[in-house]
A = this chain, B = another copy of it.
Amino acid sequence: MSYAKQMLDTYPRDFNVDASVLAAAIDALSDCAQACTACADDCLSEEMVAELTKCIRMCLDCADICTATLRVASRQTEYDANVTRPQLAACVAVCRSCGDECERHAEMHEHCRVCAEACRRCEQACNDLLAAMK
């Protein structure tokens, strides 16, 4: 289990979003960033790498965007919805594109199947957080 929920529970001020929804998003972002980093690398080791360049590029983008979103979402001090909301929206977008691309290779490459699952869960968790945020 990660420390996300514990860290939120020890935050010294109030924050106005459900801590469980926020912790779930943080964990999903963290898991998706790692899965995408690994999937890009897995694709790079496939013999048919030339057919997986779109998947690699999507996974690299998704890892970078999830990592940035994870950090923004982990901060509560002087929360600014004008920053967090568009970043979450960008993350939803890349998780959808990357999940779609990985799904195309899911039957042939098990790592793409797992990564697509990580992307779908992260997209959902970010949408849940957007809905829960004031």
Contacts and interface: CB of A to CB of B under 8 A. Distances in A.
Q: How many chain copies does the complex carry?
A: 4
Interface string A87-120: 1011001101100000000000111001101100
A16 interface: no
Contacts of A7: 34-35, 38-39, 42, 111, 114-115
A58 B75 CA distance: 10
Interface residues of A, number: 66
- Summarize A's interface: helix, strand, loop or mixed: helix
A82 B57 CA distance: 13
A24 interface: no
Given A4-B34, A34-B2, A72 B65 contact: yes
A8 interface: yes
